[in-house]
């Protein structure tokens, strides 16, 4: 990356010093942000006991896997919850990446009547506090469409979000228009243009969209909680809440569940990482 | 192929559906349908309800009462001020932090990049339950609290972080700053990686310094990203209510009551769904104005 | 790119096939749990009339129930209860859905607003008024039999009355009080048995918790008293104490707002002195329920609130872990026996225990329900609120049932080991002192008072605890809000 000054060979010391400073700064900040995750994992190795309070301890004592066993034994649906979350988040992610990229391309590069108006409408959708749309949405899904306790109810409202359309629009909008014009001249149809030119160039933002959408969907609690009626349809976030009672909580098993539920995201992150590690630049494609 | 271009131009003039616009509509069809069904319908419903005293069985029309009540409520103004203060501090600081961190991560070797990206992003996967326990511990008001242990190290007295009106808002802001930039950083890095090296190379030839490169190359080129993050963060921050709901309950003395919390309480605690809808729509208009102003100031190509 | 596309395609296919696969599984699972009835479990579905013309009294019906984990083992019994109920009424199916305490209310609220609540929900007697206001809460007096209603302690049952209507059946009555660490109480020279039996005045209480304070230099090692006051829980502290200051209810007998009485100001001053004495931490306003229980177990406080009978169990569980010495006890905890204590009385007013009465209520949907369905629901309600289930629930919570059949069934339930008999007696005595139910406070008055509580009282009280305003300032703010809401004539002036 040539944003930074590249040092010549005899200045290597300076470069190390600079990178060392950067690393230290980043590491200190990272420690602060990593703390909750450390706490979650550490607590998950505690004993599966009912307690009135969380653990206030920084160090792991007598680590045991009992809470993990307890988590899976607690409900016969423990694994099912994770599977459900995977199905919902997977479907939502795939549809978001595809549809939001297409829409982002259309809004940023294509001319059609109502382009700006429709986009503004989408933005307004983001601005309405969800507290007031929750009940009408519930009425629609449960009373009108009668699809409660199904995957459709869990997935459909999240199929494509205004947030992702906006993100795709901003990224694709900054791609040079000449490439598109050139491909058009070569006789590319719009569909081909999207799949052969725009999408390869938008790989980075698509990967970002994928991981963010998956994460959000995976962490969503309230909507799945509202529209599921039986334990076998619950997602992991809903299931985890079953571990807290009125005055007591199975704290360690809950943390074990949270840790288990974080694993798929962990894996997805590293799977997708190579896509947002290397930026795709127009120059790279051209050359 | 010239012919193709000509006809499309011709058609556009005639305001007929061009090939391009047909594809445009096809590409936005999915979001539009989802929007119409799952967003527009609830919004229209909320709009209608805002003129009603909503009851599941029989609903009365009350005209503008829900709006006038809201405008007369001093608590609404106070919570609006709280929300604006919270947003005004959290959003710029959080974006600045994310931008700086992204800039710092980018020059590292791939392995180190990987590590730090994961370190900043992965905390988001810790479940909300774990996060809320951790933050309660951090803000534990007794000397055993993590933050109190930290400040006592610097000789500062024990603080009642969430319980005192001097520090409650600060505590919520700090929490927002330290727990919410994973996705912002990832998006910024994606934008930074999209900048073609040739820009820097020509800048190097001109002898540009690091800060000049940031000023004249990086900032202009990541502007669409900045606009996106700014607008979505402001929207999100205006709607915030979870933190106040869980951490302070709006106290002390309503110093941390957010508009989102009022809306939530009206909708569910008091079953005043009409008033909740009215407040939500007022908030939406305010957010809309802020968004419009941001688009104008940043001069983005969107005409809103 | 090719790889990415391939990956996306594979993921898509995977998701699709998984959906198809699990879709089938789901249906099977649903059928398994539903052998007895082919009816879809919806609240408004009319019974299938042409199915069995001969057995009109026994038309099949499904009753939906939404329940929190009322007691530690409560949810484990759901399948068993549904089965027992079906054996009792072969034409009826009980469909129980569980949700955690924190969230169950919100799910119910969305369902109520949407006009499609479950038939039975678990709602505290204190919050029925907002549901009455929706018109969806069913007056059960027409559907529950005399025999069912006579089973309950009448004062407790009356908590579910409003105006002429009866809206629920109690599952239990619990007293919100305070509780102490036995060893520390004794060390501080407090005769806790006497306090349990006779109560104590504020002055006695104040001196007692002063004695409980242990200091090491300038830092307090043990406080005399800690009450969870963070966020909305501050309301509990005030609500429990105000009952013993001559204001058993927000409204007086002639329906005037009570908290504008001079006694309220005096109470606030008294509560403030406990912090000024150093008996309570000055950071009280942000100590949450988890933290104060941790403080109790680790010996950082002698008395804690709010207290429930079941805390004896939590403390005992931790003591056992300390004995087992396997590192699973709460970090830094000491052995602590939990002693139930009454809230002190103020200014010579009589003891009025703060009753927390929770139970089952009946909802209808948007469509006009059939009377027969509602009587079926009443049967299910009574099934849940009485007899064996009441015994199991209350036994779990270390309290006594509030219905005769439940008390009788206690004989068949295995009592917790080593239960403190003094606590049992104290709890019984406190339950008998639960203030009389108020059926005359209209939902509208109740809603106004609730709004003052949320928007003025609790925020100001938190500020008072944080020493940011004086008792007088808080009193003035509450009074002003009360005048705005109820008018000059609607409040107590003394």
Q: What is the dihedral of CA C333, C334, C339, C344, to 10 degrees?
A: -70
Number of A–B residue contacts, CB under 8 Å: 321
Count of domains in chain A? 2
Residues in chain C: 494
Q: Lowest mean pLDDT of A232-241, B127-136, C165-174, C415-424, name the range.
A: B127-136
Contact C434, C413 (CB under 8 A): no
Let me know whether A42 and A83 are in one domain.
no
Helices (H), C243-386: 262-276, 289-297, 311-324, 371-385
- What residues contact A35, with CB distance under 8 A and at least 6 apart? B134
Instruction: Please check whether residue A99 lies inside any domain of the structure.
Output: yes
* Domain extent at residue A233: 76-246
Least confident residue range of A1-5, A279-283, B18-22, B77-81: A279-283
Contact B117, B186 (CB under 8 A): yes
Confidence at A75, pLDDT banded by 50, 70, 90: confident
* Residues B186-220: tens digit of each pLDDT: 889 888 888 888 888 888 888 888 888 898 889 98
* Residues B205/B206/B212/B215 CA torsion (nearest 10 deg): -90
Write down the pLDDT at residue B283: 94
- Average of pLDDT values for C49-61? 56
- Phi first, then psi, for residue C65 (nearest 5°) are -135, 135
Show the DSSP H helices in C227-310 as ranges. 234-242, 262-276, 289-297
Which chain A residues are closer than 8 Å to B42 by Cβ?
128, 132-134, 136-137, 140
Among C398, C383, C25, residue whose Cα is nearest residue C179: C398
Query: Nearest Cβ partner of A225 from C14, C75, C107?
Result: C107
pTM: 0.86
Token pair for residue C81? 């209860």
Which residue, C195, C127, C190, is CA-closest to C162?
Answer: C127
In degrees and rounded to multiples of 5, residue B216 shows phi and psi of: -100, -20
Cα dihedral C188, C190, C196, C200 in deg (nearest 10):
-110
**Strands (DSSP E) found in C120-167:** 120-124, 161-162, 165-166
Question: Which domains, ranges and CATH numbers included, belong to chain B?
Answer: 2-49 (no CATH), 66-298 (1.10.3720.10)
Asked if B183's CB is within 8 angstroms of A215's CB, the reply is yes
DSSP state letter for B266: I
Q: Do C283 and B142 touch (CB under 8 A)?
A: yes
- How far is A117 from A142, CA to CA, in rounded Å? 31
| Separation in Å, CA of C470 to nearest CA in chain B | 12
Q: How confident is the model at residue A280 (pLDDT cuts 50, 70, 90)?
A: low
Average pLDDT over residues A59-67: 79
Burial degree of A39 (CB within 10 A; 0-12, 13-18, 19+): buried
Query: What pLDDT, on a 0 to 100 scale, did the predictor assign at position A278?
Result: 64
Mean pLDDT in chain A? 83
Q: Is the CB of residue A268 less than 8 Å from the CB of residue A211?
A: yes
The token pair at B169 is 């808002």
Q: Which residues in chain A are closer than 8 Å to C10, comparing Cβ atoms?
A: none
| Domain-embedded: residue A256 | no
**Which chain B residue shows the shortest CA-CA distance from A203?**
B190
Cβ A246 vs Cβ C314: under 8 Å: no
Pairing status of strand C214-216 against strand C219-227:
antiparallel
Same domain, A121 and A240: yes
Handedness of CA A100, A101, A102, A106 (dihedral sign): positive
A279 within domain boundaries: no
Quick one: closest CA in B to A138, which residue?
B42
The DSSP bridge pattern shows strands A50-51 and A249-250 to be: antiparallel
Q: Residue A131 — pLDDT band, cuts 50, 70, 90?
A: confident
Closest to A168 (Cα-Cα) out of B190, B297, B294: B190
Q: Is residue A193 part of a domain?
A: yes
Do residues B160 and C284 lie in contact, with contact meaning Cβ atoms separated by under 8 Å? no
Interface size between B and C, measured as CB pairs under 8 A: 120
Same structural domain for residues A84 and A30? no
Instruction: Tell me whether residue A25 is in a domain.
Output: yes
- A53: in domain: yes
Report in angstroms the alpha-carbon separations of B237 from A1, B191, B246, C238: 34, 23, 16, 33
Model confidence over C280-329: pLDDT tens digits?
A: 999 998 898 888 888 999 999 999 989 989 899 889 988 988 898 877 78
Instruction: Specify the range with the lowest mean pLDDT, choosing from C35-39, C161-165, C243-247, C468-472.
Output: C35-39
A18 and A94 in one domain?
A: no
Residue with tokens 């769904």: B273
Q: In this structure, is residue A188 part of a structural domain?
A: yes
A98 plus A225 within the same structural domain: yes
Q: Domain check: are A100 and A38 in the same one? A: no
Does B136 lie at the interface with C, CB-CB under 8 angstroms?
yes
Tokens of A89: 């988040």
Are residues A57 and A176 both part of a single domain? no
Yes or no: say if B79 and B279 are a contact pair by the CB < 8 Å rule.
no
Out of C281, C366, C454, whose CB is closest to B265? C454
**B239 close contact with A: CB closer than 8 A:** yes
Mean pLDDT in residue range A236-246: 74
Query: Cβ neighbours of residue B160 under 8 Å, at least 6 residues apart?
Result: B141, B167, C282, C283, C285, C286, C466
Asked if A35 lies within 8 A of B134 by C-beta distance, the reply is yes
B48 shares contact with chain A (CB less than 8 Å) = no
Residue C375: per-residue pLDDT: 94
- Find residues 303-342 of chain C whose CB sits inside 8 Å of chain A: 308, 310-311, 314, 317-318, 321, 326-328, 330-331
* Token pair 């990224």: residue: A171
Angle at B284 between CA B282 and CA B288, to 5 degrees: 120
pLDDT value at residue A281: 54
Pairing of strands C301-307, C338-341: unpaired
Please name the residue that has the structure tokens 């300390």: C322
User: Residue A2 falls within a domain, yes or no?
Assistant: no
Domains of chain C: 58-172+356-432 (3.40.190.10), 175-354+442-490 (3.40.190.10)
Which of A19, A35, A69 finishes a domain?
A69
- C281 at interface of B, judged by CB pairs closer than 8 A: yes
For residues C20 and C24, what is the distance between their CA atoms, to the nearest angstrom?
7
C447 has a chain B CB within 8 A of its CB: yes
Query: A133 and B204 in contact by Cβ < 8 A?
Result: no
Tell me the CATH number at A214. 1.10.3720.10
- Most A CBs within 10 Å: which of C330, C338, C366, as the mutation test of the A interface? C330
d(CA B282, CA B157): 42
- Give the C-alpha separation, B16 to B236, whole Å: 39
Per the CB < 8 Å rule, is C26 touching A233?
A: yes
Query: Residue C54 burial by CB count (10 A; 0-12/13-18/19+): exposed, middle or buried?
Result: exposed
Query: Closest Cα partner for B290 from B232, B240, B244?
Result: B232
Distance from CA of C454 to the nearest CA of A (A): 19
Residues A36 and A88 in one domain: no
Tell me if chain A has a CB within 8 Å of the CB of B43.
yes
Q: Is the Cβ–Cβ distance between C407 and C400 less than 8 Å? A: yes
Same structural domain, A38 and A114? no
Pairing status of strand C354-362 against strand C120-124: antiparallel
Residue of C nearest to B145 (CA): C291
Q: What chain C residue is nearest to A224 in terms of C-alpha separation?
A: C107
Contact C287 B269 (CB under 8 A): no
The answer to whether the CB atoms of A245 and C69 lie below 8 A apart is yes
Q: A163 to chain B: nearest residue by CA? A: B232
Integer angstrom CA distances of residue B254 from B8, B88, B244, C249: 60, 18, 10, 25
Query: Does the pLDDT of residue C23 top 50, yes or no?
Result: no
Quick check: B46 and A131 CB within 8 A?
A: no
SS3 A6: coil
Q: Backbone dihedral region of B249: left (phi > 0), alpha (psi from -120 to 50 degrees) or beta?
A: left
Gap between the Cα atoms of B54 and B61, Å rounded: 8
The shortest CB-CB distance from B24 to any of A25, A110, A160 is to A110
CB C273 within 8 A of CB C453: no
A19-59 per-position pLDDT tens digit = 888 888 888 888 878 888 888 888 888 877 666 555 667 77
Cα-Cα end-to-end distance for chain B: 35
Residues A113 and A34 in one domain: no
**Which of B20, B127, B190 lies at the smallest CB-CB distance from A276?**
B190
- What is the Cα–Cα distance from A112 to A101, expressed in whole angstroms? 17
Residue B208: CB atoms within 10 A of its CB come to 17
Q: Cβ–Cβ of A56/C97 closer than 8 Å? A: no
Same domain, residue pair A106 and A138: yes
B251 in contact with chain C, both atoms CB, cutoff 8 A: yes
Separation CA A46–CA A254 (nearest Å): 11
Tokens, residue B76: 């609404």
Is pLDDT at C34 greater than 80 in this prediction? no
Beta carbons of B144 and B138 less than 8 angstroms apart:
no
If you search the block for the tokens 């989408």, which residue do you land on?
A122
Q: Please give the ipTM for the structure prediction.
A: 0.86
pLDDT tens-digit profile, chain B (304 residues):
344 444 444 444 445 567 888 888 989 998 899 888 888 888 898 999 999 998 888 888 999 999 999 999 999 999 999 999 999 999 999 999 999 999 988 877 778 888 888 888 877 777 666 777 788 888 888 888 889 988 988 988 888 898 888 899 999 998 888 877 788 888 898 888 888 888 888 888 888 888 888 988 899 889 999 999 999 999 999 988 877 777 887 778 888 899 998 998 888 888 899 999 999 999 999 999 999 998 888 875 543 3
Tell me the average pLDDT of chain C: 86
Q: Give the relative orientation of helices A251-277 and A12-44 as an angle to the nearest 10 degrees.
A: 150
Tell whether the model's pLDDT for residue C45 goes beyond 70: no
Give the pLDDT band (50/70/90) at residue C20.
Answer: very low
Distances (CA, A) of C306 to A65, B246, C238, C247, C342: 34, 19, 11, 19, 11
Mean pLDDT of the C233-261 span: 93
Same domain as A110, residue A175:
yes
Touching B (3+ Cβ pairs <8 A), the chains are: A, C
How high is the pLDDT of residue A286?
38
């Amino acid at each position: 990356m040539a944003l930074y000054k590249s040092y010549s060979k005899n200045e290597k010391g300076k470069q190390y010093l600079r990178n060392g400073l950067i690393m230290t700064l980043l590491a200190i900040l990272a420690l602060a942000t990593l703390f909750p995750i450390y706490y979650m994992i550490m607590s998950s190795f505690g004993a599966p006991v009912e307690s009135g309070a969380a653990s206030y301890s920084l160090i792991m004592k007598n680590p045991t896997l009992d809470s993990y066993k307890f988590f899976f034994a607690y409900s016969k649906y423990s694994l099912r919850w994770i599977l459900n979350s995977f199905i919902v988040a997977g479907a939502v992610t795939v549809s978001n990446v595809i549809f939001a990229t297409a829409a982002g391309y259309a809004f940023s590069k294509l001319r059609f009547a109502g382009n700006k108006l429709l986009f503004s409408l989408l933005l307004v959708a983001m601005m309405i506090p969800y507290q007031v749309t929750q009940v009408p949405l519930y009425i629609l899904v449960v009373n009108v469409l009668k699809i409660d306790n199904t995957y459709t109810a869990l997935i459909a409202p999240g199929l494509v979000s205004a947030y992702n359309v906006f993100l795709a629009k901003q990224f694709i909008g900054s791609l040079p228009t000449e490439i598109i014009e050139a491909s058009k001249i070569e006789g590319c149809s719009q569909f081909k243009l999207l799949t052969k030119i725009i999408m390869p160039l938008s790989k980075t933002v698509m990967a970002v969209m994928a991981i963010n959408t998956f994460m959000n969907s995976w962490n969503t609690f309230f909507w799945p909680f509202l529209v599921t009626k039986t334990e076998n349809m619950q997602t992991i976030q809903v299931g985890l809440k079953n571990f807290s009672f009125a005055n007591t909580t199975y704290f360690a098993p809950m943390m074990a569940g949270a840790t288990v539920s974080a694993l798929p995201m962990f894996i997805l992150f590293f799977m997708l990482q190579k896509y947002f590690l290397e930026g795709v630049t127009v120059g790279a494609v051209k050359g | 192929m010239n012919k193709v271009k000509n006809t499309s131009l011709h058609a556009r003039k005639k305001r007929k559906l061009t090939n391009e616009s047909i594809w445009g509509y096809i590409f936005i069809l999915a979001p539009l349908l989802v929007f119409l069904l799952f967003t527009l319908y609830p919004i229209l419903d909320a709009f209608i309800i805002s003129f009603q005293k909503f009851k599941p069985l029989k609903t009365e029309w009350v005209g503008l009462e829900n709006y006038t009540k809201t405008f007369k409520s001093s608590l609404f103004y106070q919570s609006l001020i709280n929300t604006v203060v919270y947003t005004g501090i959290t959003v710029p600081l959080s974006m600045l932090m994310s931008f700086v961190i992204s800039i710092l991560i980018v020059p590292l070797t791939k392995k180190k990049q990987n590590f730090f990206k994961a370190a900043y992003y992965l905390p988001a996967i810790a479940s909300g339950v774990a996060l809320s326990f951790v933050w309660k511990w951090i803000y534990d008001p007794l000397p055993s609290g993590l933050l109190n242990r930290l400040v006592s190290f610097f000789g500062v007295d024990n603080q009642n972080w969430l319980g005192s009106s001097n520090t409650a808002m600060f505590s919520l802001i700090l929490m927002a700053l330290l727990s919410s930039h994973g996705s912002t950083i990832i998006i910024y890095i994606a934008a930074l990686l999209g900048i073609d090296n040739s820009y820097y190379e020509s800048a190097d030839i001109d002898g540009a310094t690091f800060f000049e490169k940031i000023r004249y190359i990086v900032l202009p080129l990541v502007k669409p990203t900045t606009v996106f993050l700014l607008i979505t963060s402001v929207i999100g921050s205006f709607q915030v209510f979870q933190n106040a709901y869980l951490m302070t309950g709006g106290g002390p003395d309503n110093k941390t009551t957010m508009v989102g919390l009022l809306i939530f309480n009206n909708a569910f605690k008091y079953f005043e769904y009409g008033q909740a809808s009215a407040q939500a729509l007022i908030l939406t208009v305010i957010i809309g104005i802020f968004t419009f102003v941001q688009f104008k100031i940043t001069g983005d190509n969107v005409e809103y | 790119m090719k790889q990415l596309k391939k990956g996306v395609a594979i993921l898509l296919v995977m998701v699709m096939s998984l959906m198809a696969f699990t879709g089938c599984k789901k249906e099977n699972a649903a059928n398994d749990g539903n052998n007895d009835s082919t009816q879809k479990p919806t609240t408004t579905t009319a019974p299938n009339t042409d199915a069995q013309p001969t057995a009109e009294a026994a038309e099949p019906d499904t009753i939906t129930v939404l329940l929190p984990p009322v007691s530690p083992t409560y949810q484990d019994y759901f399948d068993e209860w549904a089965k027992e109920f079906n054996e009792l009424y072969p034409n009826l199916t009980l469909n129980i859905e569980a949700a955690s305490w924190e969230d169950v209310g919100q799910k119910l609220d969305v369902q109520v607003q949407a006009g499609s609540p479950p038939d039975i929900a678990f709602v505290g007697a204190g919050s029925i008024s907002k549901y009455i206001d929706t018109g969806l809460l069913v007056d059960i007096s027409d559907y529950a039999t005399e025999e069912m209603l006579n089973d309950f302690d009448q004062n407790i049952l009356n908590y579910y009355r409003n105006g002429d209507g009866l809206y629920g059946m109690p599952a239990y009555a619990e007293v919100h009080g305070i509780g102490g660490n036995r060893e520390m109480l004794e060390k501080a020279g407090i005769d806790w048995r006497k306090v349990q039996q006779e109560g104590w005045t504020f002055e006695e209480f104040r001196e007692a918790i002063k004695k409980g304070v242990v200091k090491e230099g300038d830092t307090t090692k043990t406080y005399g008293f800690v009450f969870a006051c963070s966020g909305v829980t501050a309301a509990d502290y005030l609500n429990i104490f105000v009952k013993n200051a001559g204001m058993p209810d927000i409204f007086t007998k002639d329906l005037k707002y009570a908290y504008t009485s001079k006694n309220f100001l005096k109470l606030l001053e008294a509560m403030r002195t406990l912090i000024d004495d150093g008996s309570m931490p000055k950071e009280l306003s942000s100590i949450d329920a988890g933290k104060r229980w941790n403080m109790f177990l680790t010996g950082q406080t002698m008395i804690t609130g709010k207290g429930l009978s079941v805390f004896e169990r939590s403390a005992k569980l931790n003591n056992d872990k300390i004995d087992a010495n396997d590192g699973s006890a709460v970090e830094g905890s000491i052995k602590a026996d939990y002693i139930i204590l009454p809230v002190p009385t103020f200014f010579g007013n009589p003891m009025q225990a703060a009753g927390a009465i929770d139970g089952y209520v009946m909802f209808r949907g948007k469509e006009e329900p059939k009377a027969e369905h509602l009587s079926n629901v009443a049967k299910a309600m009574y099934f849940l609120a009485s007899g064996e289930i009441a015994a199991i629930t209350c036994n779990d919570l270390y309290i006594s049932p509030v219905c005769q059949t439940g008390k009788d069934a206690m004989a068949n339930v295995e009592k917790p080991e080593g239960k403190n008999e003094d606590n049992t007696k104290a709890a019984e005595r406190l339950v008998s002192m639960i203030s009389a139910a108020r059926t005359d406070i209209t939902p509208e008055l109740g809603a106004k008072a609730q709004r003052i509580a949320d928007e003025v009282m609790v925020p100001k009280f938190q500020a008072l605890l944080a020493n940011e305003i004086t008792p007088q300032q808080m009193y003035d703010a509450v009074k002003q809000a009360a005048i705005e809401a109820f008018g000059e004539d609607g409040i107590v002036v003394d």
